[in-house]
Chain A
Amino acid sequence: MARGKVAALVAAVALLAAGCGSAGTPADPAPVGDVQAPLPAGVGGADTHGGGAADNNCDTRSLAPNGSIPSGSTMDRIRDRGRLIAGVDQTNFLFGFLNPASGNLEGFDIEIVKQIAASIFGRWEGHIQWVAIPSSAREQVLKDYQVDIVVRTYSITCSRMKDVAFSAPYYQAGQAVLAPKSSGVRGMQDLGGRKVCAATNSTSLATISTAPSRPIPVSVNNWSDCLLLIQQGQVDAISTDDVILAGMARQDPNLEVVGEPFTREFYGVGIPLGQDDMVRFVNAVLENIRNGNAWQNTYKYWIEPALGPASPPAVSYR
């Protein structure tokens, strides 16, 4: 008993002595602190200008088709130039992407451009200049006449119609959510306070910002930057049109599209404001695509394996 007390006393004194004459703590050999994964260029939050708000309180119908090319028309000038300048995406698997194996652009949107070029020149080969543009630049390149058309999963909205003209719709999509299979996320309702990615100046970003569950929007320049961020664990989900998400899910089997589409997006061809002859001409080309086999063939090749069978959207004109 006494020896136990002595031992306790010695221990207490030793502790006290150690406390008084502290030798400091060993140095941290690698003081790195918080490790932050790198970000792609141009990552931001919600849009401040709301250019892509999904408002449809106006007449979004396009002009009636007219497939003729009178001299002096926009199409005539394009024919004289020898090439159609098309703004497209090269990062959107299935719709517009660069196939690294062939070095060519491929996808549903790319086929639409080829059809328009073929209608002007007879054949598209050698008559298209592809310009890859980020989502955020779609209005600007049309306003500056840098391109003749923009075919880039471009939703027809009233706010955009103030800046650019649209053709009739050639595809109907709906916004859904892409999340890791293991995350348990079943839709936008599960994403309150979590980071959700979309492209800058897209209708999807506006929808995320106004979702009732209040997710945190993260915006990037290109859709594939969203895929990169979700793979790096820097965002919890991606929310945009189901076709874009299907393209991403094809690149990463750990991701899946969840929930039913909760918006309706109609993709149209963007044309500079005021070029009504070009709008009518493109509508005539799209009419042929929808009514002939071209639409179904292209859809079957690119989209059907991911989203199942579908038919072209119904169209009416002003």
Chain B
Amino acid sequence: MTATATRPAVPGGPGGGFPESAPPDNAPRSGLAGLLELPGAAVRGVVRSARTTPGRLTVIVIGLIVLALVTGVVATVTLQSRKNTINDLIDHREPLAAASQEVYRSLSDADATAASAFLAIGVEPPSLRQRYDTDIARAGVALAKAASDSAGVAEAAAQVEILSRQLPVYTGLVETARANKRQGFPVGSSYLREASDLMRSTILPAAEDLYRIDTDRLAEEQDDASGVPWVVAVLVLALLAALIATQVYLTRRTNRVLNVGLVIATAATALALLWGAVAVTVQSVLVDSGNDDGSHQVDVLVRARIAALQARANETLTLVARGDGGTYEQDWNELTPQVTGLLNEARGFATGDVAREVQGAADSAERWLVIHQDIHAKDVEGDYAEAVKLAVDSSVPGGAATTFANLDDALVAAIEHGRQAFLDDTRAGDRALTLLAPGFAVLAVVAAGGATMGIRDRLREYR
């Protein structure tokens, strides 16, 4: 390749010892230097040939082809990745956010249910036992799902680690509490309170953090998928402007109004612009509405549900502690305004079926607050047995257990509607982009071809 390679120096060898001479001036330059010279030479060549009309036309057609192809490639890649992002929202991001929601929710529910079951006189009711078992099973499965995606996010991985470590410890404590209770040993209540303390001080905060991280990641990706693709827009507009400018130039030079090739290229570009603008706008609006009517709404409702569950756990633990439960009652007083506040927020934006469910939940919450006053009054006045009955016996009509179940059911239904709305809107957004990426590629090639054809016709006239 290089001049020196053919004439290697042999230092220390016989006859060696004289310095290597520089290659003569008329010899070809070395590869690297020649490469560095290329752009300069090309620019000089282009400038030289652009002084003549055929040369200028050649430069124009090369410029148009390059611009069209670059636009095509950038647009195709951008739009395909946008479509992938939307699919990722549906296939991964939202299910993951839902999984970490489920971890948080089912653990809060387990805490409340374990306390209710412990309050029952004698053996706990099978329905509560089953509810607790289901909560723990769901939390475990949802945690495995949430863990599968936490690897890249250190903060999420830390929360998953806390949850994975402490959940078995928690269930062990609850089972020990249960075994002691069955034998009539008061140490059972100590185990239950230790379990609940572990849940509140360590497990639930980790679950809440994980939930926030995953919900934020969902919202971020929704923003990514609904922004304006500026680079593509600028490129398409530039291509369109270049094509029009070329036609104006040609019309002036040749006095011919229309150039079929360039008209085809312009039409293809305009079509791409129009199609892209409409499809991306529709898609962005749909992804946005998947957020507003779907995932954001779900977020508010899930937070309302979890606050309600935690308030419920505090209501029952106040009774388990029996007089020694001042902190639980305090927590209740802090949580219930959150429940009503979040339900009001949800009422602000909910429509249709969701609005109906949210209204139902708000009504139940209101009734529950009234019943709680009654329970609290009975507990404080010493009518403990009646307070417990009113709080946990689901056969008491209008009792706290039934009212809370109504509240929870309404929120579950509303959350389901919200998730469906997310799925519908986001899927529709995905459909709006159908064939857009390959379409852009084809239209870019058509534009490049049209430009080539149109200018080649003019160039022929100069031969």
Contacts and interface: CB of A to CB of B under 8 A. Distances in A.
User: Does B bind A?
Assistant: yes
B194 A38 contact: yes
Contact of A101 (B184, B187, B195): B184
B44 interface: no
A40 B122 contact: no
B169 A38 contact: yes
Contacts of A99: 184
B197 A38 contact: yes
Interface in A276-310: none
A90 interface: yes
Q: How large is the interface on B (under 10, 10 to 19, 20 to 34, 35 or more residues)?
A: 20 to 34
A129 B382 contact: yes
A133 interface: yes
B191 interface: yes
Nearest to A146: B323
A32 B165 contact: yes
A48 interface: no
A102 B186 CA distance: 13
B77 to A, nearest CB: 36
A24 B453 CA distance: 63
Contacts of B188: 100
A134 B181 CA distance: 20
Contacts of A60: none
Interface string B382-407: 10110010000000000000000000
Given A38-B173, A38-B198, A90 B388 contact: no
Contacts of A102: 121-122
Q: How large is the interface on A (under 10, 10 to 19, 20 to 34, 35 or more residues)?
A: 35 or more
A83 B202 CA distance: 41
Contact of A103 (B191, B194, B202, B388): B388
B218 to A, nearest CB: 29
B194 A228 contact: yes
Contact of A224 (B184, B189, B202, B388): B189
Given A38-B197, A99-B184, A132-B324, A224 B190 contact: yes
Contact of A91 (B173, B190, B198, B384): B190
A227 interface: yes
Contacts of A54: none
Nearest to A92: B186
Contacts of B384: 130
A98 B122 contact: no
Contacts of B190: 40, 91, 222, 224-225, 227-228
A132 B186 contact: no
A85 B324 CA distance: 14
B25 interface: no
Q: Counting chain B CB atoms within 10 Å of each CB, which of A97, A98, A99, A102 scores highest?
A: A98
Given A83-B382, A100-B181, A103-B121, A90 B189 contact: yes
Interface in B184-219: 184-191, 193-195, 197-198, 202
Interface in B157-194: 165-166, 169, 173, 180-191, 193-194
Interface string A243-262: 00000100110000000000
Nearest to B198: A38
B29 interface: no
B321 A132 contact: yes
Given A100-B181, A101-B121, A228-B194, A133 B324 contact: yes
B385 A39 contact: no
A184 B420 CA distance: 65
A40 B194 contact: yes
B197 A98 contact: no
B322 interface: yes
A161 interface: no
Interface string B357-389: 000000000000000000000000110110010
A137 B322 CA distance: 14
A99 B321 CA distance: 14
A15 interface: no
A98 B324 contact: no
Contacts of A225: 190, 194
A69 interface: no
Contacts of A6: none
Given A40-B194, A132-B323, A251-B187, A100 B122 contact: yes
B186 A98 contact: yes
Interface string A124-142: 0000111111100100000
A102 B183 CA distance: 12
Contacts of A37: 169
Contacts of A171: none
Contacts of B166: 38
A90 B169 contact: no
Given A40-B197, A103-B121, A224-B187, 9 more contacts: A38-B202, A91-B187, A100-B122, A100-B184, A103-B385, A130-B382, A224-B189, A231-B187, A251-B183
8 contacts: A93-B187, A100-B122, A100-B184, A101-B122, A102-B121, A228-B190, A251-B185, A251-B187
Q: 10 closest A-B pairs (Cβ-Cβ)? A: A129-B382, A131-B323, A103-B121, A132-B323, A97-B186, A132-B322, A224-B190, A251-B185, A224-B187, A38-B198
